[in-house]
Structure 1
Amino acid sequence: MARTRNEHLAALLAEAGWSRAQAAAAFIRVAQESKLDDFTHIGRGHITMWVGGTMPSGQAPIVLCQALSRRLKRPITPEELGFSDPTPPTQSALDWHIDPLIVLPDLGRSDLNADRRSLLTGAVYSITALALPREDWWVEMASSQPLSPVDSRRVGRGDVAIVQDMTAAFSRVDQQRGGGHGRRALVEYLRTDVTSFLHGHFASEHVRREMYSAAGELSYLSGWMAFDNGDHALAQKYFTLAVKLAAQADDPPLSGHILRAMAHQAIDLGFHQQGLDLASASMEGQRYAAATPRERALLGVVYARSLAAIGKKRAAAKALLNAEDDLSSAGPGIQEPNRTFFFAEASLAHETACTLRECGDREGAVREFNRSVRTRKATTFRRTHLVTLGYLGAVQVAGGRVEEACATWSRALDAMEDGVYSGRARQAVIDIRRLLSPYRNRGVPAAARLSARATGYLSQVD
């Protein structure tokens, strides 16, 4: 069957003023920069075939987007090139070198489209993508010039405030209802309104950086909600996008905040060394030094947990003390960014408990989990509260305190049945059933009752 000529690609090559050979040369430059050796053989014959209707494989569409975006000084997406294949590229080192304004609309479109999203959510969390770029990348991103505006709107400080307010609102929903509720609305706002702002004419360079920071924080939140709901590969893509936006905004504390979240995800998934690498990066230079005390405490406690995960108990204990000192110095006179408004004693106690659990200090973990439960505003932070209860019950049952664990988990199920949509919450219920399995037939009525209740809950949400 005859292929249909790709008129979109032909028109863009003509606009760029490139011959097929020049287009191939530009393609190879991007591939070499991104260490994609498989694509350094591309020649003018390949470009001719693509114009003729052949679909390029793997990362090739993204490489070509990057080459044309540089030439035309505006973001070019695979869809604009006429490449309609819905299969998203796997995450690799190339992702760090693609302009975020190219990634943002395509990722959002894939996320919201049912057919394309099934491919995204079925993708594999990439360990290789956890390797961060070298230090010169951060410098280059902070000093990079944005692509030419494609939207006529003028973007001012008030527009930045709108995005920040929307981020705070979505964050409150996440804390109360979990990452499975409201994220599609967030993504739609990110890929439409926020993308339009990023393509506009900024009132000043300061406003541009502020808007990129605001967009980075919203992208981070989308990643965090996807992580909470168990969509790990999708979360990783949003985290990577958020880091790039924060880097272009020259906002080291926000970069550190996102790297800390990536470390948290890696540790939870069992990639402990990669988690430590990410947590260490979050503590480097201005990411830690320019952060507020409350932010530094959050970075520090996840760093402590990553140390504990690889068996460095003494270093973990020292990092915990530093995090406690940072949080104690967070006074009312210090203006905190919205992203860390929720990190207080309860959150510190939760992460401290996770660290002590990794160190094998079961009693210490129970003590700190209980402190977290006691000090958290459970109605405001319902999702995190029930996750803490799930972890607390698991530590209690590991110590043979089955009746206590059942009472703890019963409180967790109360919270879950009150409208929380979270993959982590669902996993907690699965763990309840698994951990109670040895006790159901041992004359422990509470275990049998709770196991039946957990089974009923899972039958409703599955």
Structure 2
Amino acid sequence: MARERNEELAALLEEARWSRAQATAAYNRVADETLNGEVRENSKIGRSHVSMWVGGVQPSGIAPAILCQALSRRLKREITPQEVGFAASTSPAQEALDWRADPLIALSDLGSGVDTDRRRLLAGGVYSAAALILPDEAWWDAMATPPSEEPPDKKRVGSGDVETVRQLTLAFSRMDQRRGGGHGRLTVDEYLRHEAHDYLRGRFADDETRRAMFSASAELAYLSGWMAFDNSEHAIALQRFNTAVKLAARSGDAPLSGHILRAMAHQALDLGFRREALKLAQASVHGQRYASATPRERALLGVVHARALAANRRNNEAARALLQAEDELSNAHDGIKEPDRTFFFGEASLAHETACTLRDLGDQQRAVKEFRRSVRTRGAEFRRTHAVTLGYMGAAQIAQGGVEEACATWTNVLDAMEEGIYSGRARQRVVDMRHLLSPYRKRGIPAVGVLDARAASYLAEVD
């Protein structure tokens, strides 16, 4: 019996303006990013796979989820398997992202190692814009309601236990800033799965301690999500952020909820989901999430909101949000106790985010100026972000025609990376660098040849 042509997939490929080869390349990029080296069914495809799927063959393994993600990024909207003409069941990862799912179950199901973790998430689960739709206010109110009773036979949890979780989170946050998210995340996950999970199911000294423990554990889950995001493990990051928001809501910690929503907006921006990013950013600065935050945290929330506005071409609002963020940071001083999670955010970080906003507004000249300010003012302990900033700055410089200037900047990126930074975001700057240099390879510019060869050698070693 002849198969029926998949007209839905054919129409989406036409809308994306993809040839079979381009669709294959996009699929393989998403699969490589998601699987991070793990070999699975359809972890890499050829043009014949796309042709067969258009011809009516139903893809197997993780193929439906990966192809939908590739199309979603290209078309800047959520594409479901059903829209592509595929039959796909709900995966455990997708179920875990349901806002009604218990975050303690999500913690217990993290897995005991990277392979288990990835298999659960990749049983159909990739980064999904549909999972970014936030619950209504009734959900937040219900989550913040204290439990009616606690199990009497559980371990007693006190303020010292809360402080232990906070100290661990800060230590790994500092390491993330130095070495990147690819270093140490599995250790964080193991702690979440065992110690933090047991604390959250414990018997608390009082309700204040309960809320504090849920808040501390939410920050640790957020850190795991941020590290996964930084290392380009986007499906894992989304699940961790989702769990972190639920835990923060249980604690009633509005500013922390805003902090995590801000990170989700940042990730959505990097992946090209502009509208979803703006909704998340708007939620992060809504009500008490912003009003109850300290000045430094308000500046952080505000500048990511500005970036989301700029990405959606709301230029005037973005400019006002930038000015507001600058004002908020100027109000931060030693007399105000800021949460540890904001330790990284200062003049250098504000300049970096401001530069990204200006770049998205089309003002490359001012973007370069702000990137320079970020590089000039950043401390040595923030090596990972330093590499990312330099990568963006080089891209802005070459966009203005400054090829040799960009090469000098990108040389510093490789210097930083070769010191031992494990970061998918920073590595992507090297990939982008080679792409942006490609038009200049045959022009006989010595700096281009030297840098391109060095970048190729670096990527060959880390891939």
Fold shared per TM-score above 0.5? yes
1:47-196 → structure 2 map (5 Å cutoff):
88-91=91-94, 95-106=98-109, 108-109=110-111, 112-120=113-121, 123-145=125-147, 148-149=150-151, 152-196=154-198
User: Partner of 1:332: helix, strand, or coil?
Assistant: coil
Structure 1 length normalisation: TM-score? 0.79
Structure 1 equivalent of residue 19 of structure 2: none
8 Å contact from structure 1 (residues 266, 274) kept in 2: yes
8 Å contact from structure 1 (residues 239, 258) kept in 2: yes
Cα separation, partners in 2 of 1:210 and 1:197, compared to 1, 3 Å: same
* CA distance in 2 between partners of 1:263 and 1:236 (Å): 11
Structure 1 equivalent of residue 296 of structure 2: 294
* CA distance in 2 between partners of 1:150 and 1:392 (Å): 57
1:23-75 deviation digits (Å, cap 9, x = unpaired): xxxxxxxxxxxxxxxxxxxxxxxxxxxxxxxxxxxxxxxxxxxxxxxxxxxxx
* CA distance in 1 between partners of 2:222 and 2:327 (Å): 26
Note the C-alpha offset of 1:425: 1.1
Identity of aligned residues (%): 63
Larger Rg: 1
8 Å contact from structure 2 (residues 93, 121) kept in 1: no
Q: Which moved more, 1:442-451 or 1:140-149?
A: 140-149
Structure 2 equivalent of residue 26 of structure 1: none
* CA distance in 2 between partners of 1:233 and 1:376 (Å): 30
Counterpart selection for 2:316 from 314, 322, 331 = 314
Note the C-alpha offset of 1:267: 0.7
Cα separation, partners in 2 of 1:93 and 1:198, compared to 1, 3 Å: closer
Cα separation, partners in 2 of 1:338 and 1:116, compared to 1, 3 Å: closer
Cα separation, partners in 2 of 1:303 and 1:92, compared to 1, 3 Å: farther
Cα separation, partners in 2 of 1:397 and 1:278, compared to 1, 3 Å: same
Cα separation, partners in 2 of 1:94 and 1:351, compared to 1, 3 Å: closer
Note the C-alpha offset of 1:149: 3.6
Q: Please tell me the residue identity of whatever aligns with 1:432.
A: M
- Where does structure 1 lack aligned partners over 5 or more consecutive residues? 1-86
The number of residues matched between the two structures is 373
Q: Please tell me the residue identity of whatever aligns with 1:238.
A: R
Cα separation, partners in 2 of 1:395 and 1:161, compared to 1, 3 Å: same
RMSD: 1.6
Q: Which moved more, 1:242-251 or 1:92-101?
A: 92-101
* CA distance in 1 between partners of 2:364 and 2:220 (Å): 36
8 Å contact from structure 2 (residues 146, 207) kept in 1: no
Counterpart selection for 1:255 from 254, 257, 260 = 257
User: Partner of 2:345: helix, strand, or coil?
Assistant: coil
Structure 1 equivalent of residue 438 of structure 2: 437
Counterpart selection for 1:339 from 335, 338, 341 = 341
Structure 1 segments of 4+ aligned residues over 6 angstroms from their partners: none
8 Å contact from structure 1 (residues 92, 129) kept in 2: no
Counterpart selection for 1:240 from 239, 242, 245 = 242
2:377 is aligned with 1:350? no
User: Partner of 1:333: helix, strand, or coil?
Assistant: coil
1:68-126 deviation digits (Å, cap 9, x = unpaired): xxxxxxxxxxxxxxxxxxx95242696211121111111x217x251452452573211
Cα separation, partners in 2 of 1:148 and 1:99, compared to 1, 3 Å: farther
- Where does structure 2 lack aligned partners over 5 or more consecutive residues? 1-89
Counterpart selection for 1:268 from 248, 267, 270 = 270
Cα separation, partners in 2 of 1:116 and 1:234, compared to 1, 3 Å: closer
* CA distance in 2 between partners of 1:230 and 1:249 (Å): 29
8 Å contact from structure 1 (residues 352, 365) kept in 2: yes
* CA distance in 2 between partners of 1:356 and 1:150 (Å): 56
Note the C-alpha offset of 1:150: 8.0
Q: Please tell me the residue identity of whatever aligns with 2:179.
A: R
